Amino acid sequence: MPLHIQIKVKPNSMPTPEDLALHQRLEDMIIDEEIGDVLRTDASEGLMELFVDIDDEDTSYAYRVLQNLLKQFGVHMSSTIKVV
């Protein structure tokens, strides 16, 4: 089951190098912690995104782990996680 993670960055501008480094660290953590398979990532004006494939039975666990990672990185207030 795919999860869509969106992280909002400064509106009307591309993500900064620091934003992109955070995006990469989050992707690395998802892979290292075996939360799921990263299907696709994207960074565009005002937004960074990750699509992560999660086993159906692990969805609620993965959701909680991802929320905690976003909190650790200090972006939980500007992020959303949705099942797609």
CATH code of 54's domain: 3.30.70.260
- Domain total for the chain? 1
pLDDT at site 41: 95
pLDDT at site 39: 96
pLDDT tens sequence across 45-71: 999 999 999 987 878 899 999 999 999
pLDDT at site 56: 76
User: Residue 78: which domain range?
Assistant: 2-83
pTM of the model: 0.91
**Residues in the chain, how many?**
84
pLDDT tens sequence across 1-47: 899 999 999 989 999 999 999 999 999 999 998 999 999 999 999 99
Q: What whole-number distance in Å separates Cα of residue 48 and Cα of residue 76? A: 13
